[in-house]
Protein backbone atom coordinates (compact mmCIF):
# COMPACT_ATOMS: atom_id res chain seq x y z
CA UNK A 1 0.00 0.00 0.00
CA UNK A 2 1.40 3.40 -0.92
CA UNK A 3 2.06 5.80 1.92
CA UNK A 4 0.09 8.51 0.12
CA UNK A 5 -2.99 6.29 -0.14
CA UNK A 6 -2.60 5.09 3.43
CA UNK A 7 -2.42 8.68 4.72
CA UNK A 8 -5.40 9.88 2.68
CA UNK A 9 -7.67 6.96 3.55
CA UNK A 10 -6.79 7.04 7.24
CA UNK A 11 -7.38 10.80 7.45
CA UNK A 12 -10.70 10.52 5.61
CA UNK A 13 -11.97 7.60 7.68
CA UNK A 14 -10.82 9.16 10.94
CA UNK A 15 -12.72 12.33 10.04
CA UNK A 16 -15.83 10.32 9.14
CA UNK A 17 -15.40 8.29 12.33
CA UNK A 18 -15.78 11.47 14.35
CA UNK A 19 -19.14 12.04 12.67
CA UNK A 20 -20.41 8.46 12.67
CA UNK A 21 -19.74 5.96 15.45
CA UNK A 22 -20.49 2.98 13.17
CA UNK A 23 -17.68 4.00 10.84
CA UNK A 24 -15.37 4.48 13.80
CA UNK A 25 -16.23 0.98 15.08
CA UNK A 26 -15.82 -0.56 11.61
CA UNK A 27 -12.36 0.96 11.24
CA UNK A 28 -11.47 -0.21 14.73
CA UNK A 29 -12.66 -3.75 13.95
CA UNK A 30 -11.51 -4.15 10.31
CA UNK A 31 -8.74 -1.57 10.03
CA UNK A 32 -8.18 0.65 7.02
CA UNK A 33 -8.88 -0.83 3.59
CA UNK A 34 -5.98 -1.82 1.40
CA UNK A 35 -5.28 -0.01 -1.82
CA UNK A 36 -6.72 -1.88 -4.80
CA UNK A 37 -4.78 -0.16 -7.54
CA UNK A 38 -4.37 -2.19 -10.69
CA UNK A 39 -1.84 -1.63 -13.48
CA UNK A 40 -2.95 0.12 -16.66
CA UNK A 41 -3.17 -2.87 -18.99
CA UNK A 42 -5.34 -4.86 -21.35
CA UNK A 43 -6.00 -7.35 -18.56
CA UNK A 44 -7.17 -4.65 -16.15
CA UNK A 45 -9.52 -3.06 -18.68
CA UNK A 46 -10.89 -6.49 -19.61
CA UNK A 47 -11.57 -7.29 -15.95
CA UNK A 48 -13.33 -3.94 -15.51
CA UNK A 49 -15.58 -4.66 -18.50
CA UNK A 50 -16.34 -8.17 -17.25
CA UNK A 51 -17.28 -6.87 -13.81
CA UNK A 52 -19.73 -4.22 -14.95
CA UNK A 53 -23.25 -4.79 -13.61
CA UNK A 54 -22.58 -8.26 -12.23
CA UNK A 55 -21.48 -9.54 -8.85
CA UNK A 56 -17.81 -9.86 -8.02
CA UNK A 57 -18.24 -13.62 -7.60
CA UNK A 58 -19.70 -14.02 -11.10
CA UNK A 59 -17.01 -11.76 -12.58
CA UNK A 60 -14.28 -13.87 -10.96
CA UNK A 61 -15.88 -17.06 -12.30
CA UNK A 62 -15.96 -15.63 -15.83
CA UNK A 63 -12.35 -14.46 -15.54
CA UNK A 64 -11.30 -17.93 -14.36
CA UNK A 65 -13.04 -19.55 -17.35
CA UNK A 66 -11.35 -17.06 -19.72
CA UNK A 67 -7.96 -18.00 -18.26
CA UNK A 68 -8.76 -21.72 -18.57
CA UNK A 69 -9.58 -21.17 -22.26
CA UNK A 70 -6.39 -19.09 -22.64
CA UNK A 71 -8.48 -16.07 -23.63
CA UNK A 72 -6.72 -13.42 -21.57
CA UNK A 73 -3.99 -12.83 -24.15
CA UNK A 74 -4.71 -10.30 -26.89
CA UNK A 75 -3.56 -12.48 -29.80
CA UNK A 76 -5.85 -15.32 -28.68
CA UNK A 77 -8.81 -13.00 -28.28
CA UNK A 78 -8.29 -11.45 -31.73
CA UNK A 79 -8.41 -14.89 -33.34
CA UNK A 80 -11.59 -15.63 -31.39
CA UNK A 81 -15.16 -14.49 -31.97
CA UNK A 82 -17.97 -13.17 -29.74
CA UNK A 83 -19.66 -16.57 -29.61
CA UNK A 84 -16.57 -18.20 -28.11
CA UNK A 85 -16.34 -15.51 -25.43
CA UNK A 86 -20.06 -15.81 -24.79
CA UNK A 87 -19.60 -19.52 -23.99
CA UNK A 88 -17.59 -18.55 -20.89
CA UNK A 89 -20.37 -16.26 -19.67
CA UNK A 90 -19.85 -12.88 -21.33
CA UNK A 91 -22.63 -10.99 -23.04
CA UNK A 92 -22.35 -10.39 -26.78
CA UNK A 93 -21.68 -6.68 -26.23
CA UNK A 94 -18.92 -7.28 -23.66
CA UNK A 95 -17.38 -9.88 -25.97
CA UNK A 96 -17.35 -7.37 -28.82
CA UNK A 97 -15.81 -4.68 -26.62
CA UNK A 98 -13.04 -6.99 -25.42
CA UNK A 99 -12.23 -8.16 -28.96
CA UNK A 100 -12.18 -4.53 -30.13
CA UNK A 101 -9.85 -3.50 -27.33
CA UNK A 102 -7.54 -6.45 -28.07
CA UNK A 103 -7.37 -5.39 -31.73
CA UNK A 104 -6.75 -1.74 -30.85
CA UNK A 105 -3.98 -2.79 -28.45
CA UNK A 106 -2.15 -5.01 -30.95
CA UNK A 107 -2.54 -2.42 -33.74
CA UNK A 108 -0.99 0.24 -31.52
CA UNK A 109 -4.15 2.37 -31.45
CA UNK A 110 -4.52 1.83 -27.71
CA UNK A 111 -1.34 2.26 -25.67
CA UNK A 112 -1.80 1.86 -21.93
CA UNK A 113 1.63 3.32 -21.12
CA UNK A 114 0.71 6.50 -23.00
CA UNK A 115 -2.65 6.70 -21.24
CA UNK A 116 -0.97 6.72 -17.85
CA UNK A 117 1.27 9.62 -18.91
CA UNK A 118 -1.58 11.72 -20.29
CA UNK A 119 -2.74 14.75 -18.32
CA UNK A 120 -6.40 14.31 -17.44
CA UNK A 121 -8.68 17.21 -16.64
CA UNK A 122 -7.94 20.58 -15.16
CA UNK A 123 -8.19 19.94 -11.44
CA UNK A 124 -8.20 17.29 -8.72
CA UNK A 125 -11.95 16.74 -8.98
CA UNK A 126 -11.75 15.39 -12.50
CA UNK A 127 -12.39 11.66 -12.40
CA UNK A 128 -10.51 9.15 -14.51
CA UNK A 129 -9.91 5.44 -14.28
CA UNK A 130 -6.30 5.11 -15.39
Domain CATH for 103:
1.10.340.30
Contact 67, 116 (CB under 8 A): no
| Rounded Cα distance, 117 and 121, in Å | 13
Tally of structural domains, the chain? 2
Element (H, E) at 105: helix 92-106
Output DSSP code: residue 33.
P
pLDDT in tens, 84-104: 999 999 999 999 999 999 999
pLDDT in tens, 33-80: 988 888 999 999 999 999 999 999 999 999 999 999 999 999 999 999
User: Whole-prediction pTM value?
Assistant: 0.72
Same structural domain for residues 54 and 109? yes
- Assess if residue 75 is contained within a domain: yes
Same structural domain for residues 22 and 70? no
Same structural domain for residues 53 and 99? yes
Same structural domain for residues 50 and 95? yes
Amino acid sequence: MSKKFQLKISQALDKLGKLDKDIKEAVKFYGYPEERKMPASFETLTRIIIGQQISRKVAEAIWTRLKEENLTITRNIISSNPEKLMRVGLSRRKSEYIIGIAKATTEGKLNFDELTKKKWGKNKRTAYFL
